[in-house]
A and B are shown apart, each in its own frame.
Chain A
Amino acid sequence: MGGLKMTVMAFPFALGACATTLPTGITAPGAGFALVASKTHEATGRRSVWLQSSAQAQQVAGEIHALVHRKTITADTAVQVALLNNRGLQASYAAIGISAAEVWQQATPENPVVSVGLLGIGAPELGLFRALESVIAVNLLDAPTRQRRVAVAQADFQRAQMQAVLDTLALANATRTAWIDAVAAFETVALLNRAAQSADASSELAFQLGRTGALNRAAQAREQVFDAELAAQTAEARLAAASAKEQLTRLMGLWGTEVDYFVPDALPALPGSLRSTAGLEVRALQNRVDLEVARLSLAATAAAYGLTDATRTLTDLEVIAGAELEREREDGNSEEEVTPQIELEFAIPIYDSGKARLRKAELSYLQAANVLAEAAVNVRSEARSAETQYRGTYAIARQYRDVVLPLRRIIDEESLLANNGMITSTFELLADVREGLGSQLDAAEAKHQFWRAAAGLDAAIYGGAGAAGGGDGGGVELAAGGGAGH
């Protein structure tokens, strides 16, 4: 029988004892979320939660039920519900947790590695085995680089937080925009219904005049076809409104009976005056979360670069220090012998001096720096663009409100007077009513664009515009992929 030889590492714990102090709160279940909640509250005025238990989820579900079920919801309510209930957002929050865990991980000393070797397995002539060789090894490099690795993980953690803030803002913005779109769509339906009513009256009148012999078939059909076409158009608008509402429902993460909510029939009137947009560019530069993400990326890359620089020749170095316990059993007696042992395993930097790796890290840094610079340029431009949109759409909507619609009212009044005086016919009266409604549709659309631009203003200051600008599609993308990629 061969002797059993076992190597046991004797002092790995001594080496691991110099563990880095953990950043506070990193091990808490909601690590890093407080920052997200406060930052998003600043921008949206709404509360966000990170659901981590079923009790919590139940409580939030109750809250949401109270907010939406059979209620006509405001834009603020919609945003609040989305922040509480959108599952994509929860996925994004989970990413914070993951990166927090990573910091924890990096801060924790590497566990000693136990290697067990059995010699002579499968050599029956030598008995079952000759020796069991075991070594408990610890990566000596773990301790000296821990500080830097934690820094990298921490930068990632911060970035994850900021990304979560950004996702929250984007969701808030997408929800607000979806609410605006849905309400505008219902406003369009209401206006088309009125136009359809006038067309219906024309059609009815044409029918009656056909009956008395005053209108030929072609003229009757002309009035009736308009009515019919308008009915189709109204149906289309109704469909569009339903889709717009469904988009909002998705962003709010609602299903089941919770979808029994309503949106108002019309967007709020234009405000009397505009919000101050003084120093918008500066405010955007100070507050934009995506800029913060780019900045943190740069910091993380810098930290990673430092790490690379420090370890470039030692990356693959593994120093194993330990003690070997050798136990031999012979003729019923076992003999144990402990020998201190150091094994050094390393790559000889003959071919790879780490320069390529360093170059890669350098360029990654440069890349991140350029991304940050570009982001800053874009933020400025977006701020200016948002302001232009805000002021421009306001001017257009105000033109409709203050000039076009009052003129239409005059036309309507005069049309009625002319009809009273038998100067024009009922058909002309109804045609004027319809044209007036056409202007109201245009005015409603202008108001719609203004409220979208107003929502875009917040996005320009705080971030999250990506979903708002692009119309219907943006929000879907966000809802589906909010937590992905982290």
Chain B
Amino acid sequence: MLNRRQLLGTGVAGATLVSTKTWSQTANRSLPEAALTNAAGTQPPVAPVSGPDYNPVVTLNGWTLPHRMKDGVKEFHLVAEPVERELAEGTTAYLWGYNGTSIGPTIEAVEGDRVRIFVTNRLPEHTTVHWHGLILPSGMDGVQGLSHPGIPPGKTFAYEFDLVKSGTFMYHPHADEMVQMAMGMMGMFVVHPKDPAFRRVDRDFLIMLNAFDIDPGTYIPRVMEMTDFNLWTWNSRIFPGIDPLVVNKGDDVRVRVGNLTMTNHPIHMHGYDFKVSCTDGGWVPPEAAWPEVSIDIPVGAMRAFDFKADHEGDWAIHCHKSHHTMNAMGHDIPTFIGADKTQVTQKIRQLQPEYMPMGTAGMADMGEMEMPIPRNTTPMMTGWGKHGPIEMGGMFSVVKVRPGIATGDYADPGWYENPPGTQAAEWTGDVPEPIQVADAVTRYTDPPRSRG
């Protein structure tokens, strides 16, 4: 649900969220306010109040960085700093991010804008910002040592360049990159076309794929991890902490997905086929767009896909790597399926009276049983739907397509009521004999008999 109090922008509400320390520092140096939030819910889009018009994006479980115009330049202020991020209820991570959150706020501007982005470093080590996919002068590219010296702790650097193309981009550090990205420093940068009508959609969602290795019961990511991540996140959130993508039936919808994890993610959306419309390289010509129901997002890339929201319902959207739709879990657990744990349980209970045998019939009991687990840990598969446990975690959400949702309304409409006769249910009538085979021999189907 949206929290209006947390609405950020140029209004009074935004100003109250600015810390006085930040304000006095920035005011003294005539920097734009460094807007700040620590909320983890999706914040409504920020409509442009100056400069050319555009249709603002919605960052799932995120927010958009306000700007000010100064001498015809759009000024933003990013503060790189340690943050606490609630990944889902019951799990808080100590990360590094920007302006109070990881991922950082989304920067939105328009093709042709000149932007000046102040970056204040409140980290214990130097940092830089690389503007991933943007065309800009070499000295603004943010590669520590190569483009410019790192921004020392406590200092503010200014990046300034023209936005020469529209599209979907990212920003992240290029200084001690391994650590700083593992700690959650990243954000999205959307450049809208000069012509607001160009490939316009009604709802435009942003999802950044990121991953952390945070041991159950701990708070800070293990930055040295290379492959064995245990928390697969969208915008530094895990399901059931990820908000739904709320859509009005008939809307044109765009979903922009960036990937700053260390592996690819086949993002699959149920109920629809969609077309890939944009990459961080630019727009895909409509005649070249190809249909998909899953789109693989490579490491370090952005993809946008568009669809018309014709099919009402609650549609899952998730990474199709099944371990990526799980939260913290052990990877070295033997398969207990089919094991008779009756005696074992009796024996263990004499030592650990609260022991519960699990996994002997699969792992669905993890979704159903709500047993105490280590603190600061969200169960590996959790979240309840209308019909029971959803048995998913990590990179999972729901596209909720409903008729009559007002423009700008992103509030969760609740669970979809399937019309009568459109929901699978128990069959009590005659069932055809199931055909089974017990070997691995190739079988040829008999050719169809000709009729005549």
* A interface residue numbers (CB < 8 A to B): 194, 197-198, 200-201, 204-205, 208-209, 211-215, 412, 414, 416-427, 429-430, 433
Contact = CB atoms under 8 A, between A and B. Distances in A.
A282 B427 CA distance: 93
A201 B348 CA distance: 6
Given A212-B337, A421-B377, A204 B347 contact: yes
Interface stretch (B205-213, B353-361, B394-402): B353-361
B351 interface: yes
A417 B352 CA distance: 11
B417 interface: no
Contacts of B357: 426
A194 B347 CA distance: 10
Contact of B344 (A208, A214, A423): A208
A421 B334 CA distance: 14
Interface of B: 216-217, 328-330, 332-341, 343-344, 347-348, 350-352, 354-359, 363, 366, 371-374, 377, 379-380
B389 to A, nearest CB: 14
Contacts of A419: 355
A411 to B, nearest CB: 12
Contact of B330 (A212, A414, A422): A422
A414 B372 contact: no
A215 B339 CA distance: 11
A50 B24 CA distance: 95
B374 A418 contact: yes
A429 B359 contact: no
Given A209-B334, A214-B334, A214-B337, A426 B344 contact: yes
A430 B334 contact: no
A105 B351 CA distance: 70
24 contacts: A201-B344, A201-B348, A204-B347, A205-B339, A205-B341, A205-B344, A209-B335, A209-B336, A211-B340, A212-B336, A214-B334, A214-B338, A214-B339, A418-B216, A418-B217, A421-B377, A421-B380, A422-B359, A422-B380, A423-B330, A425-B334, A426-B341, A426-B357, A429-B348
Given A197-B347, A426-B344, A433-B351, A420 B336 contact: no
A212 B339 contact: yes
A79 B358 CA distance: 53
Given A214-B335, A417-B373, 15 more contacts: A204-B343, A205-B341, A209-B335, A211-B338, A214-B334, A412-B352, A414-B217, A416-B355, A417-B374, A418-B374, A420-B373, A421-B328, A425-B334, A426-B344, A426-B357
A197 B355 CA distance: 14
- Judged by DSSP, the binding face of A is helix
A208 B335 CA distance: 11
A425 B358 CA distance: 10
B340 A208 contact: yes
A356 to B, nearest CB: 77
Nearest to B374: A417
Nearest to B345: A201
A197 B350 CA distance: 8
B355 to A, nearest CB: 7
A198 B347 CA distance: 7
A205 B363 CA distance: 17
Contacts of A426: 336, 341, 344, 348, 357
Contacts of A414: 217, 374
Contacts of A424: 330, 333
Nearest to B352: A416
B332 A425 contact: yes
A416 B355 CA distance: 7
Given A194-B351, A209-B339, A416-B355, A421 B344 contact: no
A194 B341 CA distance: 19
B89 to A, nearest CB: 15
Contacts of B359: 422
A208 B336 CA distance: 9
A245 to B, nearest CB: 26
Contacts of A416: 352, 354-355
Interface centre among A201, A209, A419, A422 (most CB of B within 10 A): A422
A428 to B, nearest CB: 8
Nearest to B343: A204
Given A421-B216, A433-B352, A427 B339 contact: no
B339 A208 contact: yes
Contacts of B373: 417-418, 420-421, 423
Contacts of B336: 209, 212, 214, 426
Nearest to A414: B374
B344 A422 contact: no
The 4 closest A-B pairs by CB, nearest first: A421-B373, A201-B347, A212-B338, A425-B333
